[in-house]
């Protein structure tokens, strides 16, 4: 646990926004911004270790991102390949378990294979978990859960009136992961963008104008300091 007496979120989710604007400000191709953003992923992992955050979920690639220019999508896939190959040792060194959520099967076959391999190699680690949302959609996740429940009803092994919020939660992509306590979105945008719509119901929201490639350990800890000042009531009164 961290030395600070301030409350620390167990689970932090981040919408990593601003890579393209970071590159544009410097007269660079958009992909250079994504490359710089990969370093911020490692910075966030280091900050989690330093502060005691157990779960870090990153919105790495949405289902909507498939409509971006083909060259950018191919570049992002190449960057993901490089990240998995070059940073696996750091995951082992820091005992970080890698997991994914989303329609990962939409990704190129070699990336799917590598994701499964690294996930398998790191699944024994319990201290920290890095969850990558890939080809992810919050609405699709809820739809998939509803479809699985509907299939059980159609088979006759579940009554509609027996369906509860807890049961639907168990049919989401990562039912064993606690809901995020804190959502961070960088670059000044003020929306959820179809990210973890069910799980973020009671999360604290933190928005910053800092572009993702510039979001390093100090900015992460600033977000945690802001979280520590929040009064989480969950519908109750003080």
- Per residue in 161-203, pLDDT (tens digit) is 999 999 999 999 999 999 999 999 999 999 999 999 999 999 9
Catalytic residue among 19, 65, 106, 194: 65
Is a pLDDT exceeding 90 seen at residue 125?
yes
Catalytic residue among 6, 17, 194, 209: 17
Catalytic residue check, 17:
yes
- At residue 5 the predicted structure's pLDDT band, cuts being 50, 70 and 90, is low
pTM of the model: 0.94
Q: How many domains does the chain have?
A: 1
Q: What integer pLDDT is reported at residue 233 of this predicted model?
A: 78
Q: Which of these ranges, 4-8, 176-180, 204-208, has the smallest mean pLDDT?
A: 4-8
Q: What integer pLDDT is reported at residue 4 of this predicted model?
A: 45
Residues spanned by the domain of 49: 11-136+179-228
Is a pLDDT exceeding 70 seen at residue 3?
no
Q: What percent of the chain has pLDDT over 90?
A: 94
- At residue 235 the predicted structure's pLDDT band, cuts being 50, 70 and 90, is confident
Is a pLDDT exceeding 70 seen at residue 2?
no
Q: CATH no. for residue 74?
A: 3.40.1180.10
In a domain, 168, yes or no: no
Q: What integer pLDDT is reported at residue 232 of this predicted model?
A: 84
Tell me the pLDDT of the chain averaged across its residues: 95
Catalytic residue check, 94:
no
Nearest-10 crossing angle of helices 70-93, 30-51 = 30
In a domain, 126, yes or no: yes
Length of the chain: 238
In a domain, 150, yes or no: no
In a domain, 122, yes or no: yes
- At residue 99 the predicted structure's pLDDT band, cuts being 50, 70 and 90, is very high
In a domain, 27, yes or no: yes
- At residue 1 the predicted structure's pLDDT band, cuts being 50, 70 and 90, is very low
Q: What integer pLDDT is reported at residue 59 of this predicted model?
A: 98
Is a pLDDT exceeding 80 seen at residue 237?
no
In a domain, 234, yes or no: no
Averaged pLDDT, 63-74: 96
In a domain, 166, yes or no: no
Is a pLDDT exceeding 80 seen at residue 117?
yes
In a domain, 50, yes or no: yes
């Amino acid at each position: 646990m961290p030395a600070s007496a301030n409350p620390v979120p167990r689970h932090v989710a981040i919408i990593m926004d601003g890579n393209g604007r970071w590159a544009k400000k410097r007269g660079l191709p958009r992909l250079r911004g994504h490359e710089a953003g990969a370093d911020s992923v490692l910075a966030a992992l280091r900050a989690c270790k330093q502060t005691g955050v157990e779960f870090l979920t990153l919105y790495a690639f949405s289902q909507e991102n498939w409509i971006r220019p083909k060259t950018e999508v191919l570049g992002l896939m190449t960057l993901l390949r490089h990240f998995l190959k070059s940073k696996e040792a750091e995951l082992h060194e820091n005992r970080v378990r890698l997991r994914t959520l989303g329609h990962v099967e939409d990704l190129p076959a070699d990336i799917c294979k590598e994701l499964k391999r690294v996930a398998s190699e790191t699944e024994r680690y319990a201290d920290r978990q890095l969850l990558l949302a890939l080809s992810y959609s919050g609405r699709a996740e809820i739809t998939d859960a509803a479809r699985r429940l509907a299939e059980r009803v159609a088979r006759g092994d579940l009554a509609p009136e027996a369906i509860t919020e807890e049961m639907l939660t168990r049919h989401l992509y990562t039912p064993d992961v606690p809901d995020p306590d804190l959502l961070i979105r960088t670059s000044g945008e003020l929306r959820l963008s179809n990210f973890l719509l069910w799980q973020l119901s009671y999360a604290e929201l933190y928005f910053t104008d800092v572009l993702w490639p510039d979001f390093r350990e100090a900015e992460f800890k600033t977000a945690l300091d802001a979280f520590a000042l929040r009064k989480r009531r969950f519908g109750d009164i003080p």
